[in-house]
């Protein structure tokens, strides 16, 4: 399980300002490095390569990069709006974290600052004759970088914010979260004992915030448990909505009766469980499935009327559930987290997150019902132990919804025949 500081650092690096700031600092340092290296350039070299042309090149870069950055920002905002209105607002976060977009904007801003600092330093005479050679060489490299970034950016603009591209991002995020959970079914801790009941003993850790659980630092909880010789029973999962005063964890003595309730401060436990205003994709597989289902539901609305997108999403959902059935690759931690007990995900809840909204909103469309039935049947064939019972149950639910929503008896009969052929095999 990722420690909280690593998770926070990852979240920070996904922000647009981070790369822009990094490239800006790099651009300023690159422009000033010629002052340091100028003493290593032979005096006769500037006249041979025509380093005096660097003034004009920097002026062109400064004026053009400011315009390109402004255009790119407006295009990016329009793409965010298209993703929000055409797909779902929950997917906008993934579009905003697009590395190609962030690298392009950061390159343009960094190039602008590089040229601006270079022009200022040239006007003060800080470079000298030899320094112009270094600046000229660096400027040529910057021009090559700008051309490469522009070509890549132009190609990327054709896909940014489009429905298919955004669905690809949501599917990728859901797959990544599910694979992570398959490898760490209890986030690196131990399985929460089934049927466990608590009495009044132990330390109850209550939430002080209202929002969604975004991250649980199991390693930090394990260190707390080791320090106080306790067992930590976590009552929430990433994606759980908690309110102020809700029980989110409980600490019980392991083998140290001398550790009383007064010995333990709940504040470190609260710090290990991050609560935010919205759900995130990284450690919440159910959120990825819910967003995929939401995209299909929006496509099935009368205003959009796009069953093809819903059928496409169903196929992506099947690929996501197939990842749940893949063998796990155990991930080891340097810290023993066996004293932290966390509940696993319920496959029934995951099925409900994905299939129920699509079955409800597509109940009146035969093609959607057929695709749902075939999709559930394919899951049952992929792994009958995991999916057979649930698939049979949800096929029955789909048939019940279709019975009340489909108007043509021939369509009802065709769906029943399809379901019967699948369930009999």
Backbone angles phi, psi at 83, to 5 degrees: -65, -35
Rounded mean pLDDT of 209-224?
91
- Distances in Å between the alpha carbon of 271 and those of 32, 70, 121, 158? 42, 40, 47, 43
Report the pLDDT value the prediction gives residue 325, as an integer from 0 to 100: 87
- 203-206 vs 241-242, strand pairing mode: unpaired
Half-sphere exposure of 121 (CA within 13 A, CB side): 24
pLDDT at 260: 47
**According to the model, what pLDDT value does residue 55 have?**
79
How far apart are the C-alpha atoms of 297 and 252, rounded to whole Å? 44
**What are the residue boundaries of the structural domains of the chain, listed by start?**
4-161
Which segment of 7-21, 54-68, 186-200, 405-419 scores lowest on mean pLDDT? 7-21
Give 213's pLDDT tier (boundaries 50, 70, 90).
Answer: very high
User: pLDDT for 111-135, tens place per residue?
Assistant: 888 888 888 887 777 766 667 777 7
pLDDT tens by residue, 177-188: 999 999 888 988
* Residues of the chain above pLDDT 70, percent: 87
> What confidence score (pLDDT) does residue 140 get?
85
> At residue 160, does pLDDT exceed 90?
no
Q: Is-contact 44 51, C-beta < 8 A?
A: no
User: What does the pLDDT read at residue 95?
Assistant: 82
Asked if 68 and 112 count as a contact pair (C-beta separation under 8 A), the reply is no
| Residue 253 reports pLDDT greater than 60 | yes
pLDDT at residue 82, as a whole number: 77
pLDDT for residue 221 is more than 50? yes
What was the pLDDT predicted at 137?
A: 80
pLDDT at 257: 47
Question: 54 versus 286: which is more confidently predicted?
Answer: 286
Mean pLDDT of 161-169: 86
Say yes or no to pLDDT of 155 above 80.
Answer: yes
């Amino acid at each position: 399980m990722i420690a909280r500081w690593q998770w926070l650092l990852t979240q920070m690096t996904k922000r647009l300002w981070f790369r822009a700031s990094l490239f800006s600092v790099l651009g300023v340092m690159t422009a000033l490095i010629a002052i340091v290296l100028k003493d290593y350039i032979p005096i006769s070299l500037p006249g041979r390569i025509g380093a005096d042309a660097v003034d004009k090149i920097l002026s062109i870069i400064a004026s053009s990069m400011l315009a390109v950055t402004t255009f790119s920002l407006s295009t990016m905002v329009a793409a965010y709006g298209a993703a929000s209105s055409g797909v779902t607002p929950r997917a906008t976060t993934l579009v905003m974290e697009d590395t190609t977009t962030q690298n392009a904007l950061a390159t343009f801003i960094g190039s602008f600052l590089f040229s601006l600092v270079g022009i200022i330093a040239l006007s003060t005479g800080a470079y000298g004759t030899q320094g112009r050679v270094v600046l000229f060489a660096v400027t040529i490299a910057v021009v090559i970088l700008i051309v490469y970034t522009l070509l890549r950016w132009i190609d990327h603009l054709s896909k940014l914010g489009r429905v298919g591209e955004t669905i690809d991002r949501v599917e990728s995020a859901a797959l990544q979260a599910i694979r992570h959970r398959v490898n760490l079914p209890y986030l690196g801790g131990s399985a929460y004992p089934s049927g466990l009941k608590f009495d009044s003993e132990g330390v109850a850790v209550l939430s002080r915030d209202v929002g969604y659980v975004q991250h649980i630092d199991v390693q930090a909880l394990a260190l707390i448990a080791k320090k106080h010789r306790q067992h930590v029973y976590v009552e929430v999962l990433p994606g759980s909505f908690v309110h102020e005063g809700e029980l989110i964890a409980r600490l019980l003595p392991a083998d140290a009766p001398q550790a009383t309730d007064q010995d333990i401060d709940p504040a470190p436990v609260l710090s290990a469980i991050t609560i935010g205003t919205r759900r995130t994709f990284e450690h919440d597989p159910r959120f990825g499935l819910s967003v995929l289902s939401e995209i299909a539901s929006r496509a099935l609305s009368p205003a959009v009327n796009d069953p093809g997108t819903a059928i496409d999403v169903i196929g992506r959902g099947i690929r996501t559930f197939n990842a749940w059935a893949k063998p796990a690759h155990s991930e080891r931690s340097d810290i023993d987290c066996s004293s932290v007990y966390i509940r696993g995900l319920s496959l029934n809840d995951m099925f409900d997150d994905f299939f129920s909204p699509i079955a409800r909103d597509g109940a009146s469309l035969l093609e959607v019902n057929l695709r749902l039935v075939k999709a559930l049947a394919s899951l049952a064939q992929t792994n009958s132990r995991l999916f057979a019972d649930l698939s049979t149950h949800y096929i029955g639910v789909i048939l019940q919804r279709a019975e009340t929503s489909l108007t043509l008896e021939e369509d009802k009969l065709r769906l029943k025949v399809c379901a019967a052929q699948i369930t009999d095999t």
